[in-house]
Structure 1
Protein backbone atom coordinates (compact mmCIF):
# COMPACT_ATOMS: atom_id res chain seq x y z
CA UNK A 1 0.00 0.00 0.00
CA UNK A 2 1.32 3.41 -0.99
CA UNK A 3 0.77 6.41 1.30
CA UNK A 4 1.46 10.13 0.86
CA UNK A 5 2.05 12.08 4.10
CA UNK A 6 1.84 15.88 3.84
CA UNK A 7 2.65 18.21 6.75
CA UNK A 8 4.95 21.19 7.25
CA UNK A 9 6.03 19.75 10.63
CA UNK A 10 8.99 17.74 9.41
CA UNK A 11 9.52 15.85 12.67
CA UNK A 12 5.88 14.75 12.65
CA UNK A 13 6.18 13.57 9.05
CA UNK A 14 9.34 11.67 9.93
CA UNK A 15 7.58 9.94 12.83
CA UNK A 16 4.51 8.98 10.79
CA UNK A 17 6.71 7.75 7.94
CA UNK A 18 8.80 5.62 10.31
CA UNK A 19 5.77 4.02 11.94
CA UNK A 20 3.92 3.31 8.69
CA UNK A 21 6.99 1.88 6.98
CA UNK A 22 7.38 -0.48 9.95
CA UNK A 23 3.84 -1.66 9.15
CA UNK A 24 4.86 -2.43 5.57
CA UNK A 25 3.48 0.69 3.87
CA UNK A 26 5.42 2.46 1.13
CA UNK A 27 5.49 6.11 2.22
CA UNK A 28 6.18 9.29 0.24
CA UNK A 29 6.16 12.69 1.92
CA UNK A 30 6.25 16.42 1.29
CA UNK A 31 5.71 19.59 3.29
CA UNK A 32 3.31 21.86 1.39
CA UNK A 33 -0.01 21.57 -0.40
CA UNK A 34 1.24 22.59 -3.83
CA UNK A 35 3.77 19.75 -3.92
CA UNK A 36 1.15 17.37 -2.54
CA UNK A 37 -1.21 18.07 -5.45
CA UNK A 38 1.61 17.55 -7.95
CA UNK A 39 2.67 14.26 -6.33
CA UNK A 40 -0.94 13.05 -6.24
CA UNK A 41 -1.21 13.74 -9.98
CA UNK A 42 2.01 11.92 -10.80
CA UNK A 43 1.59 8.89 -8.52
CA UNK A 44 -1.07 6.37 -7.61
CA UNK A 45 -1.61 6.47 -3.84
CA UNK A 46 -3.88 4.24 -1.78
CA UNK A 47 -4.36 6.95 0.86
CA UNK A 48 -3.23 10.52 1.55
CA UNK A 49 -2.66 12.05 5.00
CA UNK A 50 -2.97 15.81 4.62
CA UNK A 51 -2.38 18.59 7.16
CA UNK A 52 -4.88 21.45 7.25
CA UNK A 53 -2.52 24.38 7.86
CA UNK A 54 0.42 24.50 5.44
CA UNK A 55 2.37 27.11 3.46
CA UNK A 56 1.83 27.98 -0.23
CA UNK A 57 -1.36 25.92 -0.62
CA UNK A 58 -3.24 24.90 2.54
CA UNK A 59 -4.77 21.49 3.14
CA UNK A 60 -8.31 22.52 2.22
CA UNK A 61 -7.34 23.86 -1.18
CA UNK A 62 -4.98 20.94 -1.80
CA UNK A 63 -7.77 18.51 -0.94
CA UNK A 64 -10.17 20.25 -3.32
CA UNK A 65 -7.61 20.17 -6.13
CA UNK A 66 -6.87 16.48 -5.56
CA UNK A 67 -10.59 15.73 -5.54
CA UNK A 68 -10.87 17.26 -9.02
CA UNK A 69 -8.94 14.30 -10.46
CA UNK A 70 -8.85 11.55 -7.81
CA UNK A 71 -11.07 9.70 -5.33
CA UNK A 72 -8.13 8.51 -3.21
CA UNK A 73 -9.11 8.34 0.50
CA UNK A 74 -7.86 11.44 2.36
CA UNK A 75 -7.36 11.84 6.11
CA UNK A 76 -7.09 15.47 7.22
CA UNK A 77 -4.84 16.40 10.15
CA UNK A 78 -5.79 19.52 12.10
CA UNK A 79 -4.41 21.21 15.21
CA UNK A 80 -7.79 22.86 15.76
CA UNK A 81 -10.72 20.93 17.17
CA UNK A 82 -13.52 23.33 16.21
CA UNK A 83 -16.39 21.62 14.42
CA UNK A 84 -16.31 24.32 11.73
CA UNK A 85 -12.77 23.31 10.74
CA UNK A 86 -13.71 19.65 10.59
CA UNK A 87 -16.78 20.36 8.49
CA UNK A 88 -14.70 22.49 6.12
CA UNK A 89 -12.42 19.49 5.71
CA UNK A 90 -15.34 17.27 4.75
CA UNK A 91 -16.69 19.99 2.45
CA UNK A 92 -13.37 20.01 0.61
CA UNK A 93 -13.57 16.24 0.06
CA UNK A 94 -11.75 14.67 3.02
CA UNK A 95 -12.94 11.22 4.14
CA UNK A 96 -11.81 11.48 7.76
CA UNK A 97 -9.93 13.76 10.14
CA UNK A 98 -7.72 13.47 13.20
CA UNK A 99 -7.06 16.28 15.67
CA UNK A 100 -3.47 16.90 16.75
CA UNK A 101 -1.91 15.72 18.95
CA UNK A 102 -2.95 12.16 18.16
CA UNK A 103 -1.89 8.64 19.03
CA UNK A 104 -0.12 6.90 16.16
CA UNK A 105 -2.22 3.81 16.90
CA UNK A 106 -5.36 5.83 16.19
CA UNK A 107 -3.93 7.01 12.87
CA UNK A 108 -3.07 3.44 11.90
CA UNK A 109 -6.59 2.32 12.80
CA UNK A 110 -8.15 5.10 10.69
CA UNK A 111 -5.91 4.19 7.76
CA UNK A 112 -6.87 0.52 7.97
CA UNK A 113 -10.57 1.37 8.20
CA UNK A 114 -10.47 3.61 5.12
CA UNK A 115 -8.44 1.14 3.09
CA UNK A 116 -10.80 -1.67 4.10
CA UNK A 117 -13.82 0.31 2.91
CA UNK A 118 -12.08 1.45 -0.28
CA UNK A 119 -11.26 -2.13 -1.28
CA UNK A 120 -14.28 -4.32 -0.57
CA UNK A 121 -13.32 -7.96 0.10
CA UNK A 122 -13.42 -9.99 -3.10
CA UNK A 123 -15.93 -12.53 -1.77
CA UNK A 124 -18.35 -9.80 -0.76
CA UNK A 125 -17.87 -7.93 -4.01
CA UNK A 126 -18.39 -11.03 -6.15
CA UNK A 127 -21.79 -11.63 -4.58
CA UNK A 128 -22.88 -8.01 -4.95
CA UNK A 129 -25.36 -7.20 -7.69
CA UNK A 130 -25.35 -3.98 -9.64
CA UNK A 131 -27.94 -1.60 -8.19
CA UNK A 132 -30.10 0.43 -10.56
CA UNK A 133 -32.47 3.13 -9.34
CA UNK A 134 -33.86 5.45 -12.00
CA UNK A 135 -30.99 7.22 -13.76
CA UNK A 136 -28.46 5.90 -11.22
CA UNK A 137 -26.41 2.70 -11.45
CA UNK A 138 -24.08 1.56 -8.66
CA UNK A 139 -21.64 -1.33 -9.12
CA UNK A 140 -20.34 -2.55 -5.72
CA UNK A 141 -17.76 -4.84 -7.29
CA UNK A 142 -16.09 -2.11 -9.32
CA UNK A 143 -17.05 0.59 -6.79
CA UNK A 144 -18.33 2.94 -9.43
CA UNK A 145 -21.51 4.94 -9.93
CA UNK A 146 -23.06 6.17 -13.16
CA UNK A 147 -25.62 8.91 -13.68
CA UNK A 148 -27.46 8.59 -16.99
CA UNK A 149 -24.63 6.32 -18.12
CA UNK A 150 -21.86 8.79 -17.26
CA UNK A 151 -19.35 7.92 -14.54
CA UNK A 152 -19.57 9.94 -11.32
CA UNK A 153 -16.51 10.34 -9.10
CA UNK A 154 -17.29 9.60 -5.45
CA UNK A 155 -14.99 9.51 -2.45
CA UNK A 156 -14.78 6.28 -0.43
CA UNK A 157 -17.22 7.53 2.20
CA UNK A 158 -19.61 8.97 -0.39
CA UNK A 159 -19.69 5.62 -2.16
CA UNK A 160 -20.32 3.70 1.07
CA UNK A 161 -23.15 6.06 1.97
CA UNK A 162 -24.72 5.87 -1.49
CA UNK A 163 -24.52 2.07 -1.50
CA UNK A 164 -26.11 1.74 1.94
CA UNK A 165 -29.03 3.99 1.00
CA UNK A 166 -29.56 2.43 -2.44
CA UNK A 167 -29.53 -1.10 -1.00
CA UNK A 168 -32.27 -0.19 1.46
CA UNK A 169 -34.80 2.04 -0.33
CA UNK A 170 -37.47 3.44 1.95
CA UNK A 171 -35.53 2.73 5.14
CA UNK A 172 -34.92 5.88 7.17
CA UNK A 173 -31.50 6.21 8.82
CA UNK A 174 -30.81 8.71 11.58
CA UNK A 175 -27.59 10.72 11.47
CA UNK A 176 -26.20 8.75 14.41
CA UNK A 177 -26.93 5.40 12.75
CA UNK A 178 -25.24 6.57 9.53
CA UNK A 179 -22.21 7.72 11.52
CA UNK A 180 -22.00 4.29 13.15
CA UNK A 181 -22.52 2.34 9.93
CA UNK A 182 -20.28 4.38 7.63
CA UNK A 183 -17.68 5.93 9.92
CA UNK A 184 -17.63 3.30 12.69
CA UNK A 185 -18.81 3.06 16.28
CA UNK A 186 -15.64 4.68 17.64
CA UNK A 187 -16.02 7.76 15.45
CA UNK A 188 -16.04 10.93 17.56
CA UNK A 189 -17.11 13.40 14.87
CA UNK A 190 -20.10 15.69 14.64
CA UNK A 191 -23.38 14.39 13.22
CA UNK A 192 -23.30 17.28 10.75
CA UNK A 193 -20.62 15.30 8.95
CA UNK A 194 -23.51 13.23 7.57
CA UNK A 195 -25.31 16.36 6.35
CA UNK A 196 -22.21 17.46 4.44
CA UNK A 197 -21.87 14.09 2.71
CA UNK A 198 -25.58 13.92 1.90
CA UNK A 199 -25.38 17.36 0.31
CA UNK A 200 -22.37 16.33 -1.76
CA UNK A 201 -24.14 13.15 -2.89
CA UNK A 202 -27.16 15.16 -3.98
CA UNK A 203 -24.95 17.56 -5.93
CA UNK A 204 -23.32 14.64 -7.73
CA UNK A 205 -26.24 12.23 -8.19
CA UNK A 206 -29.48 14.19 -8.32
CA UNK A 207 -30.62 15.94 -11.50
CA UNK A 208 -31.95 18.83 -9.39
CA UNK A 209 -30.04 18.78 -6.06
CA UNK A 210 -32.33 21.39 -4.49
CA UNK A 211 -35.33 19.12 -5.19
CA UNK A 212 -33.92 15.62 -4.73
CA UNK A 213 -35.68 12.72 -6.38
CA UNK A 214 -33.87 9.92 -4.55
CA UNK A 215 -31.93 11.06 -1.46
CA UNK A 216 -34.74 12.34 0.73
CA UNK A 217 -34.78 14.05 4.13
CA UNK A 218 -37.21 12.76 6.74
CA UNK A 219 -37.45 15.90 8.83
CA UNK A 220 -36.53 15.37 12.46
CA UNK A 221 -35.47 11.78 11.79
CA UNK A 222 -32.80 11.38 9.10
CA UNK A 223 -32.40 10.36 5.47
CA UNK A 224 -33.65 7.66 3.12
CA UNK A 225 -33.47 6.61 -0.53
CA UNK A 226 -36.82 6.87 -2.31
CA UNK A 227 -38.48 3.59 -3.29
Structure 2
Protein backbone atom coordinates (compact mmCIF):
# COMPACT_ATOMS: atom_id res chain seq x y z
CA UNK A 1 0.00 0.00 0.00
CA UNK A 2 1.32 3.45 -0.95
CA UNK A 3 1.85 5.74 2.06
CA UNK A 4 1.18 9.44 1.48
CA UNK A 5 2.21 12.17 3.90
CA UNK A 6 -0.10 15.20 3.62
CA UNK A 7 1.50 18.36 5.02
CA UNK A 8 -1.26 20.97 5.18
CA UNK A 9 -2.62 23.33 7.85
CA UNK A 10 -6.13 23.85 6.43
CA UNK A 11 -8.36 21.24 8.20
CA UNK A 12 -11.10 21.16 5.49
CA UNK A 13 -8.51 20.47 2.78
CA UNK A 14 -6.78 17.87 4.94
CA UNK A 15 -10.10 16.06 5.44
CA UNK A 16 -10.91 16.19 1.72
CA UNK A 17 -7.50 14.85 0.74
CA UNK A 18 -7.58 12.11 3.37
CA UNK A 19 -11.06 10.95 2.33
CA UNK A 20 -10.18 10.86 -1.37
CA UNK A 21 -6.85 9.14 -0.84
CA UNK A 22 -8.15 6.51 1.58
CA UNK A 23 -11.03 5.77 -0.80
CA UNK A 24 -8.37 4.84 -3.37
CA UNK A 25 -6.49 2.55 -0.97
CA UNK A 26 -3.70 4.96 -0.04
CA UNK A 27 -2.38 4.94 3.52
CA UNK A 28 -2.46 8.53 4.77
CA UNK A 29 -0.51 10.41 7.46
CA UNK A 30 -1.21 14.11 8.05
CA UNK A 31 0.89 16.90 9.52
CA UNK A 32 -0.30 20.47 10.23
CA UNK A 33 3.22 21.97 10.30
CA UNK A 34 6.77 21.40 9.16
CA UNK A 35 8.24 19.96 12.36
CA UNK A 36 5.50 17.34 12.62
CA UNK A 37 5.98 16.51 8.95
CA UNK A 38 9.71 15.89 9.37
CA UNK A 39 9.11 13.76 12.45
CA UNK A 40 6.47 11.65 10.69
CA UNK A 41 8.63 11.28 7.59
CA UNK A 42 11.47 9.91 9.75
CA UNK A 43 9.26 7.62 11.83
CA UNK A 44 6.97 6.36 9.04
CA UNK A 45 8.77 6.89 5.70
CA UNK A 46 6.22 7.93 3.06
CA UNK A 47 6.20 6.93 -0.59
CA UNK A 48 5.01 10.41 -1.64
CA UNK A 49 4.72 13.77 0.17
CA UNK A 50 1.98 16.32 -0.60
CA UNK A 51 3.33 19.60 0.75
CA UNK A 52 1.81 23.04 1.23
CA UNK A 53 4.39 25.84 1.31
CA UNK A 54 2.52 28.17 3.67
CA UNK A 55 2.97 26.35 6.99
CA UNK A 56 2.61 27.97 10.43
CA UNK A 57 6.05 27.11 11.82
CA UNK A 58 8.37 27.17 8.79
CA UNK A 59 8.24 27.76 5.07
CA UNK A 60 7.61 24.68 2.96
CA UNK A 61 10.84 25.40 1.06
CA UNK A 62 12.72 24.70 4.30
CA UNK A 63 10.81 21.43 4.74
CA UNK A 64 11.91 20.36 1.24
CA UNK A 65 15.54 21.25 1.99
CA UNK A 66 15.52 19.27 5.23
CA UNK A 67 13.83 16.25 3.67
CA UNK A 68 16.32 16.27 0.83
CA UNK A 69 19.13 16.05 3.36
CA UNK A 70 18.30 12.38 3.92
CA UNK A 71 15.39 11.28 1.69
CA UNK A 72 14.66 10.95 -2.03
CA UNK A 73 10.90 10.60 -1.52
CA UNK A 74 8.92 12.32 -4.33
CA UNK A 75 7.58 15.68 -3.11
CA UNK A 76 4.48 17.13 -4.76
CA UNK A 77 3.97 20.78 -3.78
CA UNK A 78 0.33 21.90 -3.45
CA UNK A 79 0.35 25.66 -2.93
CA UNK A 80 -1.47 28.93 -3.57
CA UNK A 81 1.85 30.50 -4.61
CA UNK A 82 1.56 30.82 -8.36
CA UNK A 83 4.51 32.84 -9.71
CA UNK A 84 7.14 31.19 -11.91
CA UNK A 85 9.93 32.24 -9.53
CA UNK A 86 8.23 30.51 -6.59
CA UNK A 87 7.64 27.34 -8.59
CA UNK A 88 11.23 27.28 -9.85
CA UNK A 89 12.56 27.81 -6.31
CA UNK A 90 10.58 24.82 -5.04
CA UNK A 91 11.80 22.65 -7.93
CA UNK A 92 15.39 23.84 -7.50
CA UNK A 93 15.56 22.84 -3.83
CA UNK A 94 14.15 19.37 -4.51
CA UNK A 95 10.40 19.29 -5.22
CA UNK A 96 9.36 16.93 -8.01
CA UNK A 97 6.10 18.55 -9.10
CA UNK A 98 3.99 21.62 -8.35
CA UNK A 99 0.20 22.09 -8.32
CA UNK A 100 -1.34 25.52 -7.79
CA UNK A 101 -4.39 25.96 -5.56
CA UNK A 102 -7.24 25.76 -6.31
CA UNK A 103 -6.84 22.45 -8.12
CA UNK A 104 -9.03 19.61 -9.31
CA UNK A 105 -8.87 16.42 -7.28
CA UNK A 106 -8.63 14.44 -10.53
CA UNK A 107 -5.45 16.29 -11.54
CA UNK A 108 -3.87 15.88 -8.12
CA UNK A 109 -4.63 12.15 -8.10
CA UNK A 110 -3.16 11.77 -11.60
CA UNK A 111 0.07 13.50 -10.58
CA UNK A 112 0.18 11.44 -7.39
CA UNK A 113 -0.10 8.24 -9.43
CA UNK A 114 2.73 9.44 -11.68
CA UNK A 115 4.92 10.17 -8.63
CA UNK A 116 4.12 6.72 -7.23
CA UNK A 117 5.13 5.07 -10.51
CA UNK A 118 8.43 6.92 -10.50
CA UNK A 119 9.35 5.93 -6.96
CA UNK A 120 8.41 2.29 -7.57
CA UNK A 121 10.49 2.00 -10.75
CA UNK A 122 13.44 -0.34 -10.28
CA UNK A 123 16.42 -0.56 -12.62
CA UNK A 124 17.32 -4.03 -13.92
CA UNK A 125 19.84 -5.93 -11.82
CA UNK A 126 23.26 -6.42 -13.37
CA UNK A 127 26.43 -8.12 -12.15
CA UNK A 128 28.53 -4.96 -12.50
CA UNK A 129 27.65 -1.37 -11.53
CA UNK A 130 26.41 0.73 -14.42
CA UNK A 131 28.82 3.68 -14.29
CA UNK A 132 28.96 6.35 -16.98
CA UNK A 133 32.00 8.64 -16.99
CA UNK A 134 32.55 11.92 -18.80
CA UNK A 135 35.32 14.50 -18.45
CA UNK A 136 33.21 16.55 -16.05
CA UNK A 137 31.22 13.99 -14.02
CA UNK A 138 30.39 10.35 -13.42
CA UNK A 139 27.01 8.69 -12.84
CA UNK A 140 26.45 5.35 -11.09
CA UNK A 141 22.92 4.38 -12.08
CA UNK A 142 22.54 1.46 -9.69
CA UNK A 143 23.89 3.30 -6.66
CA UNK A 144 22.11 6.49 -7.77
CA UNK A 145 25.21 8.57 -7.25
CA UNK A 146 26.60 11.41 -9.33
CA UNK A 147 30.01 12.96 -8.75
CA UNK A 148 31.64 16.04 -10.20
CA UNK A 149 35.14 17.29 -9.40
CA UNK A 150 35.41 14.75 -6.59
CA UNK A 151 32.16 15.80 -4.89
CA UNK A 152 28.79 14.10 -4.67
CA UNK A 153 26.02 15.89 -6.58
CA UNK A 154 22.49 15.54 -5.19
CA UNK A 155 19.79 14.97 -7.78
CA UNK A 156 16.05 14.84 -7.11
CA UNK A 157 14.12 11.64 -7.99
CA UNK A 158 12.70 13.28 -11.10
CA UNK A 159 16.14 14.52 -12.19
CA UNK A 160 17.47 10.98 -11.72
CA UNK A 161 14.66 9.44 -13.76
CA UNK A 162 15.17 11.92 -16.60
CA UNK A 163 18.94 11.42 -16.57
CA UNK A 164 18.56 7.62 -16.51
CA UNK A 165 16.32 7.62 -19.58
CA UNK A 166 18.79 9.79 -21.50
CA UNK A 167 21.84 7.76 -20.42
CA UNK A 168 20.23 4.43 -21.31
CA UNK A 169 19.59 5.88 -24.77
CA UNK A 170 22.97 7.63 -24.97
CA UNK A 171 23.96 8.75 -28.42
CA UNK A 172 20.33 8.59 -29.61
CA UNK A 173 17.77 11.38 -29.78
CA UNK A 174 14.94 10.89 -27.28
CA UNK A 175 11.81 12.80 -28.28
CA UNK A 176 10.12 15.27 -25.97
CA UNK A 177 6.98 13.16 -26.00
CA UNK A 178 8.87 10.00 -25.07
CA UNK A 179 10.66 11.70 -22.19
CA UNK A 180 7.48 13.25 -20.83
CA UNK A 181 5.61 9.95 -21.03
CA UNK A 182 8.45 7.98 -19.45
CA UNK A 183 9.16 10.38 -16.58
CA UNK A 184 5.82 12.06 -15.87
CA UNK A 185 3.21 9.79 -17.47
CA UNK A 186 1.07 9.72 -20.60
CA UNK A 187 -1.13 12.66 -19.56
CA UNK A 188 1.87 15.03 -19.62
CA UNK A 189 2.96 14.62 -23.24
CA UNK A 190 2.43 18.34 -24.01
CA UNK A 191 4.17 19.75 -20.91
CA UNK A 192 7.43 20.61 -22.65
CA UNK A 193 8.08 23.33 -20.07
CA UNK A 194 8.76 20.54 -17.54
CA UNK A 195 11.63 19.33 -19.70
CA UNK A 196 13.10 22.82 -20.05
CA UNK A 197 13.07 23.35 -16.28
CA UNK A 198 14.55 19.98 -15.36
CA UNK A 199 17.14 19.92 -18.14
CA UNK A 200 18.31 23.35 -16.99
CA UNK A 201 18.64 21.99 -13.45
CA UNK A 202 20.64 18.97 -14.61
CA UNK A 203 22.97 21.16 -16.67
CA UNK A 204 23.59 23.50 -13.73
CA UNK A 205 24.52 20.54 -11.57
CA UNK A 206 26.54 18.48 -14.05
CA UNK A 207 27.86 20.50 -16.99
CA UNK A 208 31.06 22.52 -16.73
CA UNK A 209 29.40 25.28 -18.78
CA UNK A 210 25.59 24.95 -18.55
CA UNK A 211 25.13 27.55 -21.29
CA UNK A 212 27.19 25.40 -23.67
CA UNK A 213 26.41 21.81 -22.65
CA UNK A 214 28.63 19.02 -23.96
CA UNK A 215 26.65 16.05 -22.66
CA UNK A 216 22.98 17.03 -22.21
CA UNK A 217 22.20 18.15 -25.74
CA UNK A 218 19.03 19.81 -27.03
CA UNK A 219 17.65 19.13 -30.50
CA UNK A 220 15.34 22.19 -30.79
CA UNK A 221 11.70 21.25 -31.22
CA UNK A 222 12.50 17.52 -31.22
CA UNK A 223 14.03 16.26 -28.00
CA UNK A 224 17.26 15.65 -26.10
CA UNK A 225 20.36 13.46 -26.35
CA UNK A 226 23.06 12.34 -23.91
CA UNK A 227 26.62 12.24 -25.23
CA UNK A 228 29.65 11.03 -23.31
Tell me the residue number matched to 1:136.
Answer: 138
Matches within 5 A, 1:13-162: 13-120=14-121, 125-126=124-125, 131-134=130-133, 136-139=138-141, 142=142, 144-147=144-147, 153-162=154-163
Asked if structure 1 preserves the Cα contact closer than 8 Å seen for 2:75 and 2:96, the reply is: yes
Q: Deviation at 1:137? A: 3.6
Asked if structure 2 preserves the Cα contact closer than 8 Å seen for 1:6 and 1:30, the reply is: yes
For 2:127 and 2:83, locate their aligned partners in 1 and report how far apart those are by CA, in whole Å.
39
Asked if structure 1 preserves the Cα contact closer than 8 Å seen for 2:177 and 2:189, the reply is: no
For 1:127 and 1:32, locate their aligned partners in 2 and report how far apart those are by CA, in whole Å.
42
Where does structure 2 lack aligned partners over 5 or more consecutive residues? none
Alpha-carbon displacement from aligned partner over 1:162-197 (angstroms, at most 9, x marks no partner): 111111223345666644442234239864433332
Q: Deviation at 1:13? A: 0.8
Asked if structure 1 preserves the Cα contact closer than 8 Å seen for 2:165 and 2:179, the reply is: no
Matches within 5 A, 1:188-199: 191-199=192-200
For 1:199 and 1:117, locate their aligned partners in 2 and report how far apart those are by CA, in whole Å.
20
SS of 2:87's partner is helix
Residue 192 to residue 108, structure 1, CA distance change in 2 (3 Å) = closer
Count of aligned pairs between the two proteins: 222
Instruction: State TM-score, norm by structure 1.
Output: 0.79
For 2:15 and 2:189, locate their aligned partners in 1 and report how far apart those are by CA, in whole Å.
27
Asked if structure 2 preserves the Cα contact closer than 8 Å seen for 1:170 and 1:225, the reply is: yes
Asked if structure 2 preserves the Cα contact closer than 8 Å seen for 1:30 and 1:36, the reply is: yes
